[in-house]
């Protein structure tokens, strides 16, 4: 149960009307949280795709097995049309003016919506570099429909990017009989997300799934019939899929609220935008302060699912509760991955054998003092773990999430933690 705070101590006014910008998971969860916490004021929801909120991860993970969108009204029981007073699913916001007394959101149709508060849940857009107009992307239900329509046995598909989406689509397409090549500018798959030392152990999965993987292969040009690599090699293709990341859909917010270099809005642990008492941000667009992990960038599915509840509680003068650890899950190339926490630049300890066929895990440790790369055990065998990557261990996810969500650094007896026969909770340092 939420705990009521002393509202006189808060500089943020309690709203009677709220505009939620973005009709994805984060926006839908925000609307649901407003009503579940007793807000009986006016709620307006703005969307851009013209369809009710749906979950995005199945678009790549279940591209062929779940051809219809996973509607949130059915999946998690959030029907925004029943909860919000004004739902405009095909009227995106184009401008924001945030003052001391209210906020004004201007829409693509030229309407000005005045409210006491705004929650930015605008999501992200896929990156398509200049000159890559001929490449497909996968971010929306319409993108998935177009990709399904052309996938066939023998299709020559070049996927640019061995990240989460690129790997997931490559495995699905190869399983459907397509001739798939993945090109990655870095030295290993998921290099940016997991680090090259961990990503190297995923490279063999591609060949096992019938996919060619080219690493250290930046793309110089995308044309109508394939790609040209920076080293001069050409790859013929019937379809090129750009899977090189996503960026917050925040261009329209420039000048209205602070944006970092990536386009995210820095917010406090409760989603409040500093200096703007009537503006809040959740999901992909929010770079959220975390008491354990520091600044957590947007883009984590778990943030869109869980952060709106805490933000709404803070907005209504209630205790926002404890922060949750970032969580990413993936099914790719015949394997299950779950990343909990936020990997840093420190060393990695292996739990199990990443070169074998059994489940394994990578424990991302805090950097040793002075950057020596030595686990910061201090001679007692105890290490602080910033993140855990679980590979083919779905039954361990719940237990590790509970460990990471305790609101304090995860300190483990490293000798016990790297032993797969020992449960991680039994390796907690006293």
Q: Matching CATH topology for 7-125+246-315 and 141-242?
A: yes
Pick the CATH number of 7-125+246-315 from 2.40.50.140, 1.20.1630.10, 3.50.50.60, 3.30.70.141: 3.50.50.60
Q: How many residues are present in the chain?
A: 430
Sign of CA dihedral 16, 264, 309, 59: positive
| pLDDT single digits (tens) 70-97 | 999 999 999 999 999 999 999 999 999 9
- Give me the tens of pLDDT residue by residue for the chain, a chain 430 residues long: 333 333 333 467 899 999 999 999 999 999 999 999 999 999 999 999 999 999 999 999 999 999 999 999 999 999 999 999 999 999 999 999 999 899 999 999 999 999 999 999 999 999 999 999 999 999 999 999 999 999 999 999 999 999 999 999 999 999 999 999 999 999 999 999 999 999 999 999 999 999 999 999 999 999 889 999 999 999 999 999 999 999 999 999 999 999 999 999 999 999 999 999 999 999 999 999 999 999 999 888 999 999 999 999 999 999 998 889 999 999 999 999 999 999 988 999 999 999 888 999 999 998 654 444 444 444 568 999 999 999 999 999 999 999 999 999 999 999 999 999 999 999 999 8
What is the model's pLDDT at position 8? 31
Residue 290 and residue 298: Cα distance in Å, rounded? Answer: 12
Residue 390 and residue 388: Cα distance in Å, rounded? Answer: 6
Distances (CA, A) of 194 to 198, 288, 372, 392: 6, 20, 20, 16
CA 10 to mean position of chain CA atoms: 30
> For the chain, what are the domain ranges?
7-125+246-315, 141-242, 343-427
**Contact 52/71 with Cβ under 8 angstroms?**
yes
**Contact 92/50 with Cβ under 8 angstroms?**
no
Q: What class does CATH assign to 343-427?
A: alpha beta
E strand or H helix that includes residue 194: helix 191-194
The pTM of the whole model exceeds 0.85: yes
Count of C-beta atoms within a 10 Å radius of residue 121? 33
What is the model's pLDDT at position 430? 85
What is the model's pLDDT at position 5? 36
| pLDDT single digits (tens) 105-121 | 999 999 999 999 999 99
What is the model's pLDDT at position 13? 80
Helices H / strands E in the chain, number of each: 12, 28
**Contact 162/244 with Cβ under 8 angstroms?**
no
Residue 400 and residue 389: Cα distance in Å, rounded? Answer: 10
What is the model's pLDDT at position 368? 52
Residue 172's contacts (CB-CB under 8 Å, 6 or more residues apart) are 60, 61, 63, 64
Of the chain, the end-to-end C-alpha distance in Å amounts to: 30
What is the model's pLDDT at position 395? 92
Q: What are the helix (H) ranges across 231-321?
A: 301-315
Of 401, 313, 299, the closest CA to residue 24 belongs to: 299
Residue identified by tokens 């409040």 is 272
Structure tokens at 266: 């820095």
Which CATH code fits 141-242?
3.50.50.60
Residue 249 and residue 227: Cα distance in Å, rounded? Answer: 27
Residue 77 and residue 70: Cα distance in Å, rounded? Answer: 11
What is the model's pLDDT at position 11? 62
Residue 159 and residue 83: Cα distance in Å, rounded? Answer: 40
Q: Are strands 42-46 and 86-88 parallel, antiparallel or unpaired?
A: parallel
What is the model's pLDDT at position 299? 85
Residue identified by tokens 């237990």 is 399
Q: What is the DSSP string of 93-120?
A: EEEEEE-SS-EEEEETTS-EEEESEEEE
């Amino acid at each position: 149960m939420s705990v009521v705070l002393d509202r006189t101590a808060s500089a943020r006014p309690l709203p009677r009307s709220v505009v939620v910008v973005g009709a994805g998971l984060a926006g839908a969860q925000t609307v649901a949280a407003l009503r579940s916490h007793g807000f009986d004021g006016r709620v307006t929801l703005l969307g851009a795709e013209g369809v009710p909120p749906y979950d995005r991860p199945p678009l790549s993970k279940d591209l062929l097995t779940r051809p219809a969108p996973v509607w949130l009204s059915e999946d998690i029981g959030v029907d925004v049309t029943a909860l919000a007073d004004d739902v405009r699913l095909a009227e995106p916001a184009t401008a924001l003016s945030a003052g001391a007394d209210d906020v004004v959101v201007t829409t693509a149709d030229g309407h000005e919506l005045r409210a006491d508060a705004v929650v930015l849940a605008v999501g992200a857009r896929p990156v398509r570099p200049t000159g890559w107009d001929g490449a497909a992307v996968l971010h929306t239900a319409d993108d998935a429909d177009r990709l399904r329509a052309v996938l066939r046995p023998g299709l020559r598909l070049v996927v640019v990017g061995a990240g989460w989406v690129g790997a997931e689509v490559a495995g699905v397409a190869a399983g459907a009989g397509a001739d798939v090549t993945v090109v990655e500018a870095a030295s290993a798959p998921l290099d940016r997300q997991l680090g090259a030392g961990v990503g190297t152990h995923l490279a063999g999965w591609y060949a096992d799934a019938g996919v060619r993987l080219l690493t250290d292969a930046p793309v110089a040009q995308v044309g109508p019939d394939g790609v040209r690599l920076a080293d001069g090699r050409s790859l013929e293709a019937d379809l090129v899929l750009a899977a090189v990341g996503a960026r917050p859909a925040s261009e329209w917010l420039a000048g209205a609220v602070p944006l970092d270099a990536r386009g995210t809005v820095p917010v406090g642990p409760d989603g409040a935008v500093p200096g703007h008492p009537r503006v809040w941000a959740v999901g992909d667009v929010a770079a959220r302060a975390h008491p354990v992990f520091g600044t957590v960038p947007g883009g984590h599915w778990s943030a869109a699912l869980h952060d709106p509840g805490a933000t709404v509680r803070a907005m209504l003068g209630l205790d926002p509760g404890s922060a949750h650890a970032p969580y990413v899950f993936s099914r790719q190339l015949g394997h299950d991955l779950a990343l909990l926490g936020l990997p840093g630049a420190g060393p990695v300890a292996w739990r199990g054998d990443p070169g074998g066929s059994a489940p394994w895990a990578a424990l991302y440790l805090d950097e040793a003092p002075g950057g020596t790369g030595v686990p910061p055990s201090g001679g007692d065998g105890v290490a602080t773990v910033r993140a855990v990557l679980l590979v083919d261990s779905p039954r361990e996810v719940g237990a590790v999430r509970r460990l990471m969500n305790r609101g304090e650094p995860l300190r483990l007896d490293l000798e016990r933690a790297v032993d797969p026969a020992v449960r991680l909770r039994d390796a907690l340092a006293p």
